[in-house]
Each structure stands twice: as structure tokens, then as C-alpha cells.
């Protein structure tokens, strides 16, 4: 069964710092990998989607990489802002289970002014 692990579980940084969130998965036979943001008590917002054939995706200050062979992905956030404070979830899609998502437990990020 696919297992998704996110490190660290929590992170606190001062505003302006660059930071990296890590995600690892046990089965490299994935369809794609997504990074989501979740604010407290809210649903999920998709940040970046990387297809299995791609190495990275960028959106504004966010950059996500994928190394499928080693089962790893990183989310890089440049010049962090207090508004980036949220929980970041990594999820992989596998072709069985109707392309449902397998999630990590998330990294809780706090950016202090």
C-alpha cells in the first residue's frame, strides 16, 4: 500500500525566509503528485500538480520538484510571508482506487512577521 510521509510535521520561520517542505512516497508507480494548502477548518486548495513524467512545476513563489525513482518531492517557498501560514499537504495519485489521492499528514507552517 502506498505510504506518503511529510517532513517536518511543523515549521516556524521568520518572514522573508526561503523554505523547503519534504514529501516521500513508497511506491514509485504514481500517476501524478499534488501539493495542497489547507487553512484551519477549510477545504483544500491545489497549489501545484506534477505529472509523473515531469520533474518540476512552478507557480509564483512556489516550486515543486518530483524525483519519482527515489520517491521524493519537495515544495520550495521563496520569500515567505505571514499569509503563507497554513498546513501543506502532499498527495499522490495511483491508477487503482479510481485515481483517488493518497495523502501525507501535512506540514503545519507558521511564518512570523
Count of residues engaged in binding other proteins, rule: CB under 8 A: 25
- Distances, alpha carbon 90 to alpha carbons 15, 112, 113, in Å: 23, 23, 26
Asked if residue 103 binds other proteins (CB under 8 A), the reply is: yes
CB of 16 or CB of 105, closer to other proteins: 105
46, three cell numbers: 491545489
Stretch that binds other proteins, among 34-42, 55-63, 68-76, 78-86 (CB under 8 A): 34-42
Binding mask of the shown chain, residues 61 to 100, with x at each position contacting other proteins by CB under 8 A? ----------------------------x-x-----xxxx
> Is residue 19 a contact partner of residue 41, using CB atoms and an 8 Å limit?
no
Stretch that binds other proteins, among 14-22, 57-65, 77-85, 103-111 (CB under 8 A): 103-111
Minimal distance in Å, beta carbon 66 to other proteins? 15
> Is residue 47 a contact partner of residue 90, using CB atoms and an 8 Å limit?
no
> Is residue 59 a contact partner of residue 47, using CB atoms and an 8 Å limit?
yes
Q: Is 112 exposed, middle or buried (0-12, 13-18, 19+ CB in 10 A)?
A: exposed
Residues that bind other proteins (CB under 8 A): 4, 31-32, 34, 36, 41-46, 49, 51, 89, 91, 97-106
Amino acid at each position: 500500500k502506498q505510504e506518503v510521509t511529510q517532513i517536518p510535521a511543523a515549521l516556524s520561520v521568520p518572514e522573508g525566509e526561503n523554505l523547503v517542505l519534504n514529501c516521500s512516497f513508497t511506491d514509485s508507480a504514481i500517476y501524478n503528485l499534488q501539493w495542497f494548502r489547507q487553512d484551519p477548518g477549510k477545504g483544500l486548495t491545489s497549489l501545484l500538480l506534477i505529472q509523473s513524467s515531469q520533474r518540476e512545476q512552478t507557480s509564483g513563489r512556489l516550486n515543486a520538484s518530483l524525483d519519482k525513482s527515489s520517491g521524493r518531492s519537495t515544495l520550495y517557498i521563496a520569500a515567505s510571508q505571514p499569509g503563507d501560514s497554513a498546513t501543506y499537504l502532499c498527495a499522490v495519485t495511483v491508477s487503482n482506487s479510481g485515481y483517488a489521492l493518497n495523502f501525507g499528514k501535512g506540514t503545519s507552517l507558521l511564518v512570523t512577521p
